[in-house]
Amino acid sequence: MNRIEHVVWDWNGTLVDDARLCVDIVNRILTELSIPTVSLEFYRDNFTFPVSSYYEKIGLPAEGDSFRAISEKFISEYRMRRDSRQLQEHARTVMNELAEYGIAQSILSAGKLSDLTTFVDELGLSGFLHPITGVSNIHAAGKMDISQTHLAKITHDPSNVLLVGDTVHDEEVSVHLGTQCLLFTGGHNSVKALGDCRSELIDDLRLVLLRVID
């Protein structure tokens, strides 16, 4: 296996522990619309990209003005409650150690770029992560379209790049780019949801170090 020279991090669910927050926000929207709420377990077993597909599964509008209004409401609430987010356990330690070993790190996310840069700065991580690549809207359709641009920016051979994510979509992106991949099971997809993935599953971000550092 090729030596890792660069780690591409997913943001939501991988570096940031926000699955429960996302469930809570969507459940508030479901309640307002008199639609049954969902558990964190259901969410992690069923969450997928594009988010509109997940919304359709739980009874929310998946297109049109209603979908756009729900997306606006979700991100507005998320921004207001961002102080309740925390980094995943060991995330900062792992990033520190990677930096000490000279391993470059970046973010590739389906989140809106302006939000990402704000959140990264607020958590004091700007010094670790370059580039930060996100999308131009809040519809969470995925990141396949922006992934190739991100790879071009980091200028490493894909075989020497490790993508660390927490969803089936992250593996899809990794396969598309030709990178190595680790999937963290403590984020937005459960072990059950990730069961058919070919990538190695990890339940502790410190295991990233075992893949990267000889």
Run of H or E residues at 76 = helix 64-80
Q: How far is CA 65 from CA 28, 49, 68, 71, in A?
A: 19, 19, 5, 10
pLDDT of 138: 61
Per-residue pLDDT of the chain (214 residues; tens, 9 = 90+): 789 999 999 999 999 999 999 999 999 999 999 999 999 999 999 999 999 999 999 999 988 999 999 999 999 999 999 777 799 999 999 999 999 999 999 999 999 999 999 999 999 999 989 999 998 876 566 799 899 999 999 989 999 999 999 999 999 999 999 999 999 999 999 999 999 999 999 999 999 999 998 6
Domain boundaries in the chain?
6-17+86-212, 19-84
Dist CA 151 CA 168 (whole Å): 19
Q: How many CB atoms lie within 10 A of CB 138?
A: 18
Q: Is 87 helix (H, G, I), strand (E, B) or coil?
A: strand
pLDDT of 2: 82
Dist CA 174 CA 177 (whole Å): 5
CATH of domain 6-17+86-212: 3.40.50.1000
- Decide: pTM greater than 0.85: yes
pLDDT of 140: 62
pLDDT of 137: 74
Strand partners, 163: 8, 181
pLDDT of 92: 96
Q: Which residues fall within 8 angstroms of residue 141, CB to CB, at 6 or more apart?
A: 49, 50, 51, 52, 110, 135
